[in-house]
Chain A
Amino acid sequence: DVKVTQSSRYLVKRTGEKVFLECVQDMDHENMFWYRQDPGLGLRLIYFSYDVKMKEKGDIPEGYSVSREKKERFSLILESASTNQTSMYLCASSVSGTGNQPQHFGDGTRLSIL
């Protein structure tokens, strides 16, 4: 089974802090994704990566950056956390291609910015 592991289930940080959310997958997937999920808004794509050191902006990249130094690890960085970044953050991975390959999700990190 595919395993996508997010480093923390719950995280509390303060406004202005630099925050790192880590995600690791164990299936040698090329593609990795970061979403945030908010009530009434659904899952929204922040950034994705289709290869090491490659990244693409999603729908809501403002205030975030990402890092993919190794194939199995994709990090989301909040450069200066703000209260409107309080949310559930979900990481996902998939093989490359445009067939029926689904995205596999981690359990999520519930981040609170005080």
Chain B
Amino acid sequence: GQNIDQPTEMTATEGAIVQINCTYQTSGFNGLFWYQQHAGEAPTFLSYNVLDGLEEKGRFSSFLSRSKGYSYLLLKELQMKDSASYLCAERNQAGTALIFGKGTTLSVSS
């Protein structure tokens, strides 16, 4: 199977930078996604990485190292509205579905 590991909870303050880490199994790697999910709402797509390096999208960036089976989501200039769960997901080896981690709940305080 594919094991996705990410921290359960993180806390940070407004204006700060936070990095949410994710590790995954490297065999048959086929792409990695990050989603944001506010309480009671649907997950929404944030980023996709398939090659090594950093992908930047405004305040959010995602990094991938395929050799290490490691990704992180970097959130800059944190805002209260960034309080949410962040889900790391790897595309399965067959390329047909996503395997999700259990999610990291981020709490941003003032």
Q: Which residues of B contact A (CB under 8 A)?
A: 30-31, 33, 35, 41-45, 48, 50, 87, 89, 91, 95-103
Considering the chains assembled together, what is the distance between the CA atoms of A41 and B96 in angstroms?
Answer: 21
Given A42-B101, A98-B31, are A104 and B96 neighbors across the interface (CB < 8 Å)? Answer: no
Considering the chains assembled together, what is the distance between the CA atoms of A45 and B90 in angstroms?
Answer: 13
What's the least CB distance linking A106 to chain B, in Å?
6
What's the least CB distance linking A94 to chain B, in Å?
9
For B44, the closest partner residue in chain A by CB is: A105
For A31, the closest partner residue in chain B by CB is: B96
B99: A residues at CB distance < 8 A: 45
A22 at the interface (CB under 8 A from B): no
Let me know if A58 and B31 touch, CB within 8 A.
no
Q: When the two chains form the complex, which single residue of B31, B41, B95, B100 contacts A42, counting CB atoms closer than 8 Å?
A: B100
A-B contact pairs, 9 of them (CB 8 A): A33-B97, A43-B89, A44-B100, A50-B96, A98-B31, A99-B31, A100-B31, A100-B50, A103-B98
